Structure 1
Amino acid sequence: MLQQIVIQILLIPVFLAVGLIIFTSPGALILKKLKIESDDLLEKFLLSTVLGLVIFTLLAYFLTLIHLRDLIWAWVMVGLIFAWIEKVNIWKSAILKVSKWFWIVLIVGMIGQVAVNAPSGFKYPEGIYFWSSHGHDGIWHLSLMEEFHKGVVPLQNPEYAGYTLQNYHFFVDLLMSEITRLFPFSNLDVYFRFMPILFSLLLGLSAFCLVRRWTKKEGAGIWAMILTYFCGSFGYLLTIPRSHNLSGESIFWVSQTQSVLGNPPHASAFIILTTFLFVLYRYFETKPKNLLPVLILLGGSIIEFKVYGGLLVLGGLVIVLIVDLLRKRSLGLIPLTAGVFLVSLGIYLPNSQNSQDFVIWQPWWFIRTMVVASDRLNWMDMELRRQTYIYEHNLKRVIQLETEAFLIFLTGNLGMRILGFIAFWQMLRQRIFSHYFEVFFLSITTASFFIPVLFVQKGVAWNVIQFNQYFLLLFGFLAAIATFWLLTKLKSKALKIAFASIVIILAVPTQVGLLLQFYTNHPLSMVSNQELAALSFINKNLTSRDIVFTAPFDGYSAAGFTKPPIPIYAWYDTGYVPAFSGRRTFLSDSEQLTIMGYKIEDKLKQRELLFQSKDLKFIQKYLQENNINYIYLVWNQQFKVDLTPLGVSTIFENDHARVLKVDHKVLDSYIEIPKI
């Protein structure tokens, strides 16, 4: 274990050096060609890296589509050559002038964020362990990374063999997959450790650069980093008296920004959106035409990193365009808006299927479930009173309770970001519609809050709550501006220290609780060494076109294990087989498939019947119709009848797993002998 950690630490600078070559250097070259200059080193590094990352991903996507993906090496070589030729020259005109507090916040913030992800995906004595939701969400991304290595077009869903990938923002998975395809890094290391380090760095820098540029104050930028890295909900105010701990990060429903690295699409979209805002502010200052292609690429690509972020950008641009048309009768923003729309539609529509009605009108669903759910507030008394007042037609009391619940939802999730209402009000009161950047910013901030308040997502209702995570990020910037402004109003140094201390003390408990949760609790799930051996056998002995059939998920099987980590097959329905074998499964991870709009109900029922059936003719027909060649069974999973007469034989077996092969010649020739 210690050896693994040492190797990881040694590989971190290697990975970051690769990032400089394939992201920062080409991005800097493009900015140089566009004559986009900056005398600030941090701004130059941020924009070069994020722009390079976006173009690298777009290029990888289009080269895959035309079956020329190895040409991506030309991009790598350009980055390497430009970095070598320029060396220090490209940065010599830039100035790095920041206070020690910037470095303290950046380093501590990155350590705190990355520490939440880092333990998962390591090889422990009994297998590979996963904390929290990493065993599901992380596995899904790992399966996509493995699938994209194949370069198959159209892109396939590794968890649903024979079906193309649809209704999913896969760019960050393609990005990570290309890195592990081109360079000798493992999927697990890139996903759980290396990419989170880069993302955490860029998230902090983008928050700092945006708010500093916006306010012209470094202190406000540092507060933006503090609130992005450390600010959590007020959930601890409930969990301390209830269970005497600092948990409760998402007790009001919304996961906080400090845990965003567990969701790479979100993390990448946060970074690109914040960088887009940074460039947009510069654009609205003087409207230089050379910033337009950068804005179009950044704004247009967000939708395939995270569709929610892309929708916010598109909606915000439409609002600003309308305001400009009404105020100035100007068409000046049409090129930007049209460009972002065209890029967004160009990369989104080819992978979209019937996604136009992905939300359902369901006002207050999250607020109501927050109140009554046992794992959230669990205030049944409040809900019973509301229902009683509705029955009594006591509208005044109903409105009172609904307002209370709304305010609890809002303030509970915001935590100390609630200070942002000061800046929000100042912008509305002083210069609404006078600065288009603030029109855009306030529009997407407001939309990101109210969409989940009024709608749920089709398929999996709670998925739409992720819009609120953008609200927390953006409102954190407003809170940073307000906090810095309040500090400037305090004349006494002692009062400044006291106020800043209060803000930090009230902001950080859920971040502390999150770290304690990860490092004091056991991992939830694992893939055992024996299963890893079986999955490795599948990887080495099956072709990339072969499909693996797995048993249905049994929600009761976890009861057979006394303490975590439990085998991942018993913990949750996941796509761990394609993630670790590189081979597609017939059907796995039904929740993710439902989110993406696949109609799988009949197949789920038929598979259940297959494993319950003792009718060899039914099983024969099922295996034939679905062209099943290989079956993967774990631990005590088995059919109700011996399948040897159907040509099903074991080709690999250990204590935890079996791989079965179906001989279709025997299967097709099977004739049931009538009983006499």
Structure 2
Amino acid sequence: MKLNKKISFLLFFLFFFLLSAKNVSGRDSFVTVVNPVRGNEFSDPGNPFFLESVNNLLAPLNQKKIPATWLLRYDAFSNNEGIVFFKKLAVERPDDELGIFLEITPRLAELAEVGYPGGGLFWHDANKIFLSGYKPEERIKLIDASFEKFKEFFGFYPKSVGVWHIDAYSVRYMSEKYGVTGILICADQFGTDGYQIWGGWWGIPYYPSRYNILLPAQTHKNKIDAVVFWWAARDPILGYGGSVRESTYSVQANDYLSHGLDAVYFKKLMNDYLFDNRNQFGQLTIGLENDNNWEKLGDKFDRQIEAVKKEIEVGDLKAVTMGNFSDWYQKKFDISPDHWVGEWKMSTGYRIGLNQGMIVDLRIYNEQWPEANLLTANPWGTLSLNNPYKIDTVRFSGSEKLLDFEVNQNELVKKFGEQKIPFGIEKVFLLLYYLITLLLIIFFLRKNLSLLILVILGSWCLSLPMAKSGLVYPFGMGFWGPNGHDGIWHLALINQLKNFSLNNPVFSGTRLTNYHFGFDLIIALLSRLTTISPLVLYFQAVPLIMAVLIGVLTYKFVYNWLSSKCSAWWAVFFVYFGGSWGWILGRGESTFWANQSISGLINPPYGLSLIVLLVGLIKLVDYLKNPDKKNLIISCVLFGLLIQIKVYAGIVAIGSLGCLSLLSLKFYRAKFKGIFHLFFGSFLVALIVFLPFNLKASSLLVFSPLWFSRSMIAFSDRLGWFKLENARIAYFHSGKWFKWLLAEGLALAIFIFGNLGTRAVGFFYGGFVWKKRKINPIELVLFSALTISLVLPLLFIQKGNPWNTIQFFYYFQFLMAVFTGVTIGNVFGKTGKLKKVAVGIILIILTLPTTIITLKNDYLPSRPPSRISIEELEGLNFLKNQPAGSVLSYPFNSDWRYKFSEPKPLYAYETTAYISALSAHQTFLEDEMNLEITGFDWQARRKDSQLFFLTADQLWGRTFLQENEIRYIYLVKGQKMNLGLNDIEAEKIFENGEVVIFRVK
């Protein structure tokens, strides 16, 4: 109590000292009285007692003739009493303003036909009352419902809106559609009410960025034409801190009263905000919520209004509504001007806080840095809204820096660096790369116009499913299709190979086994040689080149084999665009289990294996024509390497060469020696590149005949023909074997022909071979490959993930695409022009829907299924720049899948390798799916990880970290450990609103 008296005494003299310096420059100063009004929806619905406190607030305003803005929550203006009261107020106080207090209530959600989040602890949980707790399309519904009702009752749309947090997406929408000019949000606070709002301007109005409500716009392009007001502006000295205590040093009467302070303190804060001659204007927002304790705070509010009135009477101050001030501000400023509050300087480019010559807080702003949950729904009852920092002494005590330079944008950037979006890439680079690629395609294929057009269209379509992934958007780094798992795994592996390491990226302390990493090694070497990020190479650069090569090499192979341009062109068409019949049923490409051509490159090793296979087939044609050593060696190396690029391709290729070798004893005895040398050489190369990395590998195949055709009709996410599945089971158990065989045969036929779509035409090529009673070696090797790639997935599944052997079937589809093209070429060679055109158009019309629908539904939507948020990217980028060490993260929790809306964060989407992939560190346990596929016993580690985060045993915790050589602990919001940092001898090295990283000493 004595301390509070001393503070009051000092503040009293400080106030009169500052008073002598105020307003000498003649610039404008404004006070805006804003009173948020809540109805009784959460307390006593139907009882209008909430209006009694409004009358209490009105009394001093009427007496001093001070205008005010009244922000009404939906439950305050959606009942007769509230409507009558505020209509009357608008007549009696014409200078006042009515606006909306946009807290979301259950009744408003019901009106907007939006689901209101259940559970939680309080009605004021962040994911319930703030728009950011809802998906963007739901926010629009809630805004529209609220504004339309407001207009229905009062005859106009409001110009001012407030709530303790409104996201920039919603503000932009309200500004553009309804002409909202003023937005009231809560001032900076680190740990009050579960709402963390940290890093914005210190209580001064500004134009916000379209990406972040806490960032001032730096350009007209990214400016929202609305002015941000701050509720409960903080004390520029005492208000900076990490607890409720600091944040309650504010202009709010209920706040400073808790510290034993009074009107003298309020007048001191008025001087800080209103009468600083370094600024072009002064502005302060004051007011009270109607559900405060009026008996306790009423006289304090009266004294605030009295203090305001005195300044007005002497001509130093104007009292204006939010709408009036917004109008003044918009006429006065195009871009928000620099501003000082105490020792805080705010600029559109930075915010800096000083204390006795030391920098205690520094944010260098980037207007394109998106706020958390800008385009995603916040699932938490708490709010974490943070601007990135260069210095933050609340988070990191003792991190202040000496101010030994002039405070300006250039000096700050020079000393502390720009605030760049992590993992962002220059779009100019990508555009230039695509342009150069296009010009090269045109140059090399200029003499074959039909092929040129086909390759451009086909390679564009084939690379699109990859191109959007790995780029940074306002919601974070997006991943379309299976890239959120498979692509992330490849990136993690590439980062290890880039350092010439065969360490398992997701199982620290072990080596990679049971995996074919040829593609990943190539990307790693390319990245090392060019310094281009593996992200760019994997998602944007390499897929386009592979797509072009697949088309060109398919054409070259078929033409070299048959000397038919028509057959070669149609083969390329079906390789690029071949699809299933799923579209006829209104279903997706994998209705019958297999992905189709359009999704070929989301499995880049498969795409690379096609390129190597095609080059091998081209050289095989040359070798059969001219069996010299050069062609033999090249062919052997190409076919042998396939096993390390894609093991399924290696098995198909070596197996088909083995069949050719055996059958050549009957059909081509004179060529047997050369063919056998080819098979043996290829087999030898395969052993050389496979065995050293898989000495301890075990078989991953399980004999399970017809698993794919059976599961296709049994699984609801596939064809789901449950009547056929039930009949099949019934016939088996009742011993009706003939009917059972018919059911099995029908399911198998649907599996094969449903997946092939128009490529089933390729079966007719067998008729041509039968008709000519002769089969050449190329046909024999292709038929052998066709048989192997069909039979193996029909007989075997894979341990861990049974569906993985469907990848054998991809080569069956590819070969059938080639045979279909050859078949059409043969038919067209004997057909009139009119029939060619008609048949060609029909085939194209029946083939393209799979590609078009898959692109439209899966790969081109603006919202992907998974992402890594900007906050996580910031944390992962920080971790990437730390010394090498194993990272411990929380084990994957599948229940979190249902907590988040799309795009889901990767830690909730699936068990993935994203920490390793983006940080380039090994992790103790990640991507349990790939660990299962590659045969690692990961369950024990999962139990140990779970125990570490739950245990209170300090000795066990320290021992666990030491024995497993854990260097870093990585946690996201909602995850925690029971042990303290001192318990495990660790320190915090990074923290933002979503991520915290600890380093084990």
Q: TM-score, normalised by structure 2?
A: 0.56
- How many angstroms apart in 2 are the aligned matches of 1:373 and 1:615? 45
- How many angstroms apart in 2 are the aligned matches of 1:184 and 1:513? 37
Conservation of the 8 A alpha-carbon contact between 1:632 and 1:660: yes
Conservation of the 8 A alpha-carbon contact between 2:966 and 2:1000: yes
Q: Residue 629 of structure 1 is aligned with which of 941, 963, 967? A: 967
Deviations 1:419-471 (A, max 9, x none): 00110232245345x42221111001111011001111122211111000000
- The secondary structure found in structure 2 opposite 1:632 is strand
- How many angstroms apart in 2 are the aligned matches of 1:514 and 1:344? 36
Equivalent residues in 2 for 1:120-269, closer than 5 Å: 120-152=469-501, 155-239=502-586, 247-269=587-609
Q: Residue 755 of structure 2 is aligned with which of 403, 408, 413? A: 413
Per the alignment, residue 891 of structure 2 pairs with 552
Equivalent residues in 2 for 1:613-624, closer than 5 Å: 613-624=951-962
Q: Percent identity?
A: 34
- The secondary structure found in structure 2 opposite 1:583 is coil
Per the alignment, residue 310 of structure 1 pairs with 650
- The secondary structure found in structure 1 opposite 2:960 is helix
- How many angstroms apart in 2 are the aligned matches of 1:13 and 1:182? 22
- The secondary structure found in structure 2 opposite 1:459 is coil
- How many angstroms apart in 2 are the aligned matches of 1:499 and 1:186? 46
Kindly state the Cα deviation for residue 299 of structure 1 after the two structures are TM-superposed.
1.0
Kindly state the Cα deviation for residue 13 of structure 1 after the two structures are TM-superposed.
5.7
| 1:290 corresponds to 2:712 | no
| 1:513 corresponds to 2:860 | no
- How many angstroms apart in 2 are the aligned matches of 1:353 and 1:418? 40
Kindly state the Cα deviation for residue 166 of structure 1 after the two structures are TM-superposed.
1.0
Q: Residue 843 of structure 2 is aligned with which of 503, 515, 538? A: 503
- How many angstroms apart in 1 are the aligned matches of 2:425 and 2:489? 28
Kindly state the Cα deviation for residue 519 of structure 1 after the two structures are TM-superposed.
1.7
Higher strand share: 2
Per the alignment, residue 93 of structure 1 pairs with none
Kindly state the Cα deviation for residue 353 of structure 1 after the two structures are TM-superposed.
4.2
- How many angstroms apart in 1 are the aligned matches of 2:995 and 2:825? 58
Kindly state the Cα deviation for residue 15 of structure 1 after the two structures are TM-superposed.
7.9
Kindly state the Cα deviation for residue 248 of structure 1 after the two structures are TM-superposed.
1.3
Per the alignment, residue 379 of structure 1 pairs with 721
Q: Residue 392 of structure 1 is aligned with which of 697, 719, 734? A: 734
- How many angstroms apart in 2 are the aligned matches of 1:554 and 1:3? 31
- The secondary structure found in structure 2 opposite 1:629 is strand
Higher helix share: 1
| 1:642 corresponds to 2:980 | yes
Conservation of the 8 A alpha-carbon contact between 2:446 and 2:452: no
Conservation of the 8 A alpha-carbon contact between 1:424 and 1:478: no
- The secondary structure found in structure 1 opposite 2:797 is strand
- How many angstroms apart in 2 are the aligned matches of 1:620 and 1:146? 29
Kindly name which structure, 1 or 2, has the bigger radius of gyration based on alpha carbons: 2
Deviations 1:122-178 (A, max 9, x none): 1212321111111111111111221122123xx111111111111111111111111
Q: TM-score, normalised by structure 1?
A: 0.81
Per the alignment, residue 914 of structure 2 pairs with 576
One-letter amino acid of the structure 1 residue matched with residue 896 of structure 2? S
One-letter amino acid of the structure 1 residue matched with residue 887 of structure 2? V
Conservation of the 8 A alpha-carbon contact between 1:616 and 1:643: no
Conservation of the 8 A alpha-carbon contact between 1:228 and 1:258: no
Conservation of the 8 A alpha-carbon contact between 2:506 and 2:926: yes
Deviations 1:38-70 (A, max 9, x none): xxx99xx9xxxxxxxxxxxxxxxxxxxxxxxxx
- How many angstroms apart in 1 are the aligned matches of 2:503 and 2:766? 44
Kindly state the Cα deviation for residue 661 of structure 1 after the two structures are TM-superposed.
1.9
Kindly state the Cα deviation for residue 584 of structure 1 after the two structures are TM-superposed.
0.7
Kindly state the Cα deviation for residue 646 of structure 1 after the two structures are TM-superposed.
2.6
Alignment CA distance shift 1:461-1:652 (3 Å): same
- How many angstroms apart in 2 are the aligned matches of 1:234 and 1:14? 36
Aligned-residue CA RMSD (Å): 2.3
Kindly state the Cα deviation for residue 14 of structure 1 after the two structures are TM-superposed.
6.5
- The secondary structure found in structure 1 opposite 2:894 is coil
Per the alignment, residue 114 of structure 1 pairs with 463
Conservation of the 8 A alpha-carbon contact between 1:487 and 1:499: no
Per the alignment, residue 610 of structure 2 pairs with 270
Deviations 1:617-644 (A, max 9, x none): 4333322332322111111111244353
Conservation of the 8 A alpha-carbon contact between 2:627 and 2:674: no
Kindly state the Cα deviation for residue 269 of structure 1 after the two structures are TM-superposed.
0.1
Q: Residue 591 of structure 1 is aligned with which of 929, 940, 959? A: 929
One-letter amino acid of the structure 2 residue matched with residue 469 of structure 1? Y
Q: Residue 524 of structure 1 is aligned with which of 842, 845, 865? A: 865
Conservation of the 8 A alpha-carbon contact between 1:128 and 1:529: yes
Kindly state the Cα deviation for residue 4 of structure 1 after the two structures are TM-superposed.
4.2
Q: Residue 537 of structure 1 is aligned with which of 875, 878, 896? A: 878
Alignment CA distance shift 1:428-1:276 (3 Å): farther
Kindly state the Cα deviation for residue 610 of structure 1 after the two structures are TM-superposed.
2.6
Conservation of the 8 A alpha-carbon contact between 1:228 and 1:476: yes
Conservation of the 8 A alpha-carbon contact between 1:531 and 1:656: yes
One-letter amino acid of the structure 2 residue matched with residue 267 of structure 1? G
Kindly state the Cα deviation for residue 12 of structure 1 after the two structures are TM-superposed.
3.8
Aligned length: 576
- The secondary structure found in structure 1 opposite 2:893 is coil
Alignment CA distance shift 1:345-1:256 (3 Å): same
- How many angstroms apart in 2 are the aligned matches of 1:453 and 1:558? 32
One-letter amino acid of the structure 2 residue matched with residue 188 of structure 1? L
- How many angstroms apart in 2 are the aligned matches of 1:287 and 1:630? 58
- How many angstroms apart in 2 are the aligned matches of 1:431 and 1:605? 63
- The secondary structure found in structure 2 opposite 1:548 is strand
One-letter amino acid of the structure 2 residue matched with residue 488 of structure 1? G
Q: Residue 486 of structure 1 is aligned with which of 822, 827, 844? A: 827
Q: Structure 2: 5+ residue runs without aligned partners?
A: 1-367, 369-423
More moved, 354-363 vs 327-336: 327-336
Q: Structure 1: 5+ residue runs without aligned partners?
A: 21-40, 46-95, 240-246, 664-676
